[in-house]
């Protein structure tokens, strides 16, 4: 693949030719017309739905990240890859024990909380920098401990790997995210805790959804829900985690084009989001880690509507979103969905205004979300009349020109 940013249409053309496929053959594989493929490759039809990109990636037999351009950043953003270098080193080798003494578990728990808060505030680079040392220290402490202390350390280790998943997905490092999710599940198993096991399964599902591996995500969620069903009746946290698991399930079903099952998953997530008194029942640490609650269910309804190419439905839900119930990271991610809905409607003014809000609120979110560049590229192509300085300035800052 050539270096630097390329529009998605040109990436499709490059990969199609590399596979030796005609436009007609590719069209058949994704259930579209030859004319549609031709227009996509020429940039006349923007491909701004993840569900369509997943079908194209499957047909071309390439990772979703290849079409999104997550590993072909513009030169001014290439330094972002260094931000995950420490995590890459930790996750690319067999967990090794340090020569230092095990650290106090309370201090490690505080460090994990601090890293989780950094990610919630959309400070992804700082969270990524904190995690490698934390993971190594937790591996060492878990290995040197026994009994309840070991179980506690493994639970923290599983959550640290889960935080790595959430961070790596934001950087488009999907293969590494899967490794982190797998290690998190491995650490959670011997704890014997249904909560840690369900939380690890949730992170694994997120890794699969991020990579476009929708069937695997659905399988993981369904298996975790079945496993947690009995114990959930005795634990408010586990009941809430069952609700949390329905959110990636809804997204996966929507990206498969199954509106009915996506709606069922959202309904169940909404039902489990509050206790009998209408208040969220999940403990603060789990709520921070998962952002689960009524507000997050609503923003997932917006996201699902976008995935189903229903911008009217998505935008009609926006006024019902309560930002106070969401972290900076989650709310800024929601705003990108709102921008995508405006892009579907070819509304450059609303698109740019929404993305400028993201840039002000969480610049790292804007920088690391690949479809932002494609949306701005499409907006530039359809621009008519006087030059929109805000559009051009934003497109230049994110590398869409």
Regarding predicted confidence, which is higher, 230 or 293?
293
Average pLDDT over residues 296-314: 96
- Per-residue pLDDT band for 315 (boundaries 50, 70, 90) equals very high
Q: How far is CA 351 from CA 160, 331, 395, in A?
A: 35, 16, 12
pLDDT of residue 286: 83
| Predicted confidence (pLDDT) per residue in 135-166, tens digit | 999 999 999 888 999 999 999 999 999 999 99
Percent of the chain clearing pLDDT 70 (strictly above): 91
Q: How far is CA 53 from CA 48, 69, 256, in A?
A: 8, 12, 11
| Predicted confidence (pLDDT) per residue in 18-66, tens digit | 888 898 988 888 888 999 889 888 887 877 778 888 888 888 888 887 8
pLDDT tops 90 at residue 11: no
pLDDT tops 50 at residue 188: yes
- For the four alpha carbons of 338, 340, 342 and 344, in that order, the dihedral sign comes to negative
What is the secondary structure of 116-131 as a DSSP string?
HHHHHTT-HHHHHHHH
The highest-confidence range among 226-235, 258-267, 361-370, by mean pLDDT, is 258-267
Regarding predicted confidence, which is higher, 189 or 9?
189
| pTM to 2 decimal places | 0.87
Q: Which of 309, 311, 275 is nearest to 292 (CA)?
A: 275
Written as six digits, the tokens of 321 are 């979103």
């Amino acid at each position: 693949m050539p270096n630097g940013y390329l529009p998605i249409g040109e990436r499709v053309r490059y990969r199609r030719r590399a596979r030796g496929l005609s436009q007609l053959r590719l069209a058949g594989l994704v259930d579209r017309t030859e004319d549609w493929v031709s227009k996509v490759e020429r940039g006349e039809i923007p491909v701004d739905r993840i569900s369509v990109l997943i079908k194209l990636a499957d047909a071309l037999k390439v990772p979703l990240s290849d079409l999104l351009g997550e590993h072909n950043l513009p030169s001014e953003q290439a330094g972002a890859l260094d931000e995950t270098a420490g995590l890459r080193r930790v996750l690319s080798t067999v967990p090794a024990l340090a020569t230092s003494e095990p650290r106090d578990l309370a201090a490690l728990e505080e460090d994990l909380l601090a890293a989780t808060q950094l990610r919630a505030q959309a400070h992804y680079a700082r969270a990524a920098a904190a995690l490698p040392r934390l993971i190594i220290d937790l591996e060492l402490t878990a290995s040197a401990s026994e009994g309840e202390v070991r179980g506690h350390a493994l639970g923290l280790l599983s959550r640290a790997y889960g935080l790595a998943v959430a961070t790596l997905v934001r950087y488009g490092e999907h293969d590494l995210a899967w490794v982190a999710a797998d290690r998190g599940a491995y650490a959670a198993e011997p704890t014997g805790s249904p909560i840690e096991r369900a939380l690890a399964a949730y992170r694994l599902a997120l890794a699969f959804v991020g990579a476009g591996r929708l069937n695997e995500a659905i399988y993981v969620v369904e298996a975790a829900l079945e496993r947690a069903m009995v114990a959930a009746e005795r634990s408010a946290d586990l009941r809430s985690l069952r609700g949390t698991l329905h959110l990636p399930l809804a997204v996966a079903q929507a990206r498969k084009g199954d509106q009915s099952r996506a709606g069922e998953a959202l309904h169940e997530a909404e039902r489990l989001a509050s206790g009998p008194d209408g208040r969220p029942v999940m403990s603060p640490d789990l709520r921070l880690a998962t952002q689960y609650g009524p507000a997050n269910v609503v923003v997932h309804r917006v996201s699902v509507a976008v995935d189903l190419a229903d911008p009217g439905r998505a935008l009609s839900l926006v006024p019902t979103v309560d930002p106070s119930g969401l972290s900076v990271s989650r709310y800024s991610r929601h705003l990108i969905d709102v921008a995508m809905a405006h892009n579907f409607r070819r509304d450059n003014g609303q698109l740019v205004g929404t993305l400028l809000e993201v840039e002000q609120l969480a610049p790292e979110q804007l920088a690391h979300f690949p479809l932002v560049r494609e949306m701005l590229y499409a907006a530039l192509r359809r621009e008519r009349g006087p030059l929109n300085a805000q559009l051009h300035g934003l497109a230049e800052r994110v590398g869409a020109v």
